[in-house]
Amino acid sequence: MTTELESGSDTGDQKLQKVVEVPLPKETLDAFDGDELRARVFYEKYALRDKTGKKVETKPEQMWKRVAAELASVEKEEKKKEWTENFHWLLENYRFVPGGRILFGAGQPRRATLLNCYFFKIKEDSIEGIFDWCKEAARTYSFGGGVGTDISGLRPRGSPVNNAAIYSSGSVSFMELLSTTTGTIGQEGRRGALMITIRVDHPDIFDFINVKKDLKRVNYANVSVKVTDDFMRAVERDGDFELHFKNEKVEFSRKVRAREIWDQLIKAAWQSDEPGVIFWDSMKKYSTTEYNNMEVQGVNPCSEQTLENYGCCCLGSVNLSYFVKEPFTDHSSVDWDDLVKATQYGVRFLDNVLDYNADKHPLAQQRTASLWSRRIGVGITGLGDMLIKLGLKYDEEATVEFVDKLFERIVNVIYDYSTELAKEKGVFPAFDPDKHLAQPFIQNLDVKVRDKIRNQGIRNAALTTIPPVGSGSILAGSSSGVEPVFAMSYTRRSKSLSEGEFKVFHPLVKDYMRVHHVTDEKNLPTYFVTAHQIKPEMRVKMQAAIQKHIDTAISSTVNLPEEISVEEVQKIYFLAWKLGCKGITIYREGSREGILETAKVEKKEKSKQFERAKVMTGRTLKLKLPQGGLYVTANSDERGSLKEVFVTLGKLGGDEKADAEALGRLISLYLQHGGDIQNVVRMLKGIRGKYVSWDDGIQLLSIPDAVSKALEILVQGKVTKEAPQNLVTGSTCPDCEQSSIIFENGCYRCTNCGYSKCE
């Protein structure tokens, strides 16, 4: 069901908004065999709308025809019909899942880029450079693109500056500005995506590692550290490591013990899964674009795409789950004929996106960069499903060997077809055969492919990646990227209270159970394994095997149990570096729930018993709610510190009146023991109840939400726009408001409605 808000009237000038359920079109549900989650993702994220916002597509078939025709439109006139048909075959039945912005943007009457992400750096170490970045990022977000950036070029904290400040507040101090810019610009109901990186040898590295321990800061950005081999070797030998910064204005250096940085980095990852780690020397060594102004300088928001300045993510994924013959049998095998065909078509499809989107970039520099290197990213999704269909257990050495050979063949098919495209359409403008063939990744390709690159060139400077295929994998009904199946089933809440909750099986599991007449998921074969059942080292080995055949990087997450130790996390990171991964991301169950500034609270001395003065100073604010008038009184002691909050609901008796009074008592107790009123506001704001109401332009979601906003007005005179509460596994989805958030493929997504933080 989709939802719309219906305005109604209530007493006085109060506005009451009721949620009215609007059913999805029958033909949409029928197209997904009644699977409402997949239908919702299609209808709400990708179905085309006209300029008034009205949906004009109700079935995926209409989307496939639209996208196929639009992307074939850049072909020569005599080939348009042929490639419209070929691209339709490619998209049909989710053989290939393009990036979400491609599905949304092809044929879109609004101004929108078809490319999910860009990278561009802060041009110079100055206030002007920083605010120029904000302007360019805001324009990019407004077109639907995410942004990656790097703050290594900003001078460290304490450096001299030529203004009234005398000393710089440091590179990390500007992260909040970059994050706020990202959170301010909306994109069709979603916010922009941002990645901020810094080099491990930057003098502000300690501040960077710890910046997100305060959950009120940098809420709209992912953060990662660019780690070098020199640093890792210094950690291994427990040696010193030099932090340094130099530009034409500032020079700074000092030595620290490498393990000081490492220990804080690992502890932060264990506590809150951030910052991530990018093995930057490996990124650079195995990049295919380290010449002619294509050198990679950073990554996109999910870290799977290494990019030059103003470079873009032009991504789409071949759905491996589709290409298995006779699945779930002893005779199952890879359908190589169709897989090769789909992979080749995928290369041409994404290459066409670059031409189709040439005049749709937010910035002129992005257009120039995209056509200079013609960088694309043919990815893979549904690997976990393919392995199950073939009867292969994800976490066995033999399976890792199979996947290694699978990807070796796929990458050579991709590169070979790009040489054929070069013969037909020309090489990318920056191409230099000697420099390109000298790149280590290219040297590992099949000799026949290398010969073709030398003799006829290549169309695209870089060709492969593994993106997080969050909403796209839900749409396709497959596992995501190269991840194992996250869970065999999910619990969803029925829209009818009488029906309660019910179980929804992963589409692959449902297919197997139907074919083999299995009624209980406990009776599935042993090769049905989920992300939480796989040993961490096997996840790393699988990622490393695949990374050998990916010229950019991989978005993947190692799921860890809550009880795992810091030492074990350290071993996982070292293993990833040793095996040649370009980065590593973990998610420890429950890691974010327990860090809500507890360190600050623990350090505070136990306060003495609160002794109330006979007279205290306070103010009372009234807000109108559907349940009655809400009166919030805030009293301060003689020093002006807030110590008491009384909450009264103007309604005789009843549980809601009692709950409101109890809420005030608990807030008072917290404040009297040294608590911060801002923590109270942050924790209560956004809680939703049965009714959504308005009072003098302020939206009130529930009694707790109204109390938080009343306290803001009483303390600081206005209601501030807060960053949303950090998502955690099991937390409430901001779209459907169900407790169905999971962390998979480096991103939070909802198993109930398909919401994805990354898309």
Q: How many helices (H) and strands (E) does the chain have?
A: 26, 30
Which of 260, 292, 324 is the last residue in one of the domains? 292
Helix (H, G, I), strand (E, B) or coil at 59: coil
Please confirm whether the linkage preceding 275 is cis (ω < 30° from 0): yes
**How far apart are the C-alpha atoms of 558 and 560, rounded to whole Å?**
6
Q: What share of the chain is helix, strand, coil (3-state, %, to 5)?
A: 40, 20, 40
| Phi, psi at 608, each rounded to 5° | -70, 160
Contact 113, 362 (CB under 8 A): yes
Residue 682 lies in a domain: yes
- Residue 70 CB neighbours (<10 A): 20
Using CA atoms, how far residue 617 sits from 72, 622, 677, 706, in Å, is 71, 17, 16, 22
Which helix (H) or strand (E) segment holds residue 150: the answer is strand 146-150
Q: What is the largest CA-CA distance in the chain?
A: 92
**Domain of 132: which CATH number?**
3.20.70.20
DSSP strand E in 151-234: where? Answer: 186-187, 190-191, 194-199, 222-227
Residue 622 lies in a domain: yes
Which helix (H) or strand (E) segment holds residue 545: the answer is helix 536-547
The per-residue pLDDT for 110 is: 83
Walk along the chain (759 residues) in steps of 10 and give the mean pLDDT of each run.
35 34 82 90 92 91 98 98 98 96 92 92 95 96 93 92 76 94 69 90 96 82 96 97 93 95 95 92 98 97 95 97 95 97 98 97 97 98 97 97 98 98 98 98 98 98 94 92 90 52 82 90 92 94 97 94 93 97 90 42 47 85 90 87 89 77 91 86 83 82 91 84 55 66 75 72
Residue 43 lies in a domain: no
The per-residue pLDDT for 601 is: 34
The per-residue pLDDT for 392 is: 97
**How far apart are the C-alpha atoms of 25 and 5, rounded to whole Å?**
18
> Model confidence over 519-551: pLDDT tens digits?
888 899 999 999 989 999 999 999 999 999 999
- Whole-prediction pTM: 0.80
The per-residue pLDDT for 608 is: 55
The per-residue pLDDT for 37 is: 87
**How far apart are the C-alpha atoms of 722 and 393, rounded to whole Å?**
45
Tokens of 348: 């041409």
Of 475, 334, 512, 468, residue with least CA distance to 406: 334
Which helix (H) or strand (E) segment holds residue 648: the answer is strand 642-649
Which of 292, 310, 333 is the last residue in one of the domains? 292
Domains of the chain: total: 2
Contact 727, 714 (CB under 8 A): no
Residue 206 lies in a domain: yes
Residue 721 lies in a domain: no
Which of 292, 310, 342 is the last residue in one of the domains? 292
The per-residue pLDDT for 699 is: 83
Tokens of 63: 């989307």
Of 382, 370, 372, residue with least CA distance to 313: 370
**How far apart are the C-alpha atoms of 347 and 664, rounded to whole Å?**
61
Please list the alpha-helical segments (H only) found in 357-462.
364-373, 383-389, 397-425, 433-437, 440-443, 447-456
Residues 6+ apart with CB under 8 A from 680: 667, 670, 671, 708, 711
Question: Which residue(s) pair with 146 in the sheet?
Answer: 117
Place of tokens 């703050």: 151
Of 276, 263, 272, residue with least CA distance to 213: 272
Helix (H, G, I), strand (E, B) or coil at 679: helix
> Model confidence over 712-750: pLDDT tens digits?
899 888 887 544 445 666 666 766 656 677 777 767 778
- Residue 619 CB neighbours (<10 A): 12
Contact 559, 591 (CB under 8 A): no
- Give the residue numbers spanning the domain of 636: 604-716
Which helix (H) or strand (E) segment holds residue 138: the answer is helix 127-142
Question: Which residue(s) pair with 224 in the sheet?
Answer: 197, 276
Residue 287 lies in a domain: yes
Residue 375 lies in a domain: no
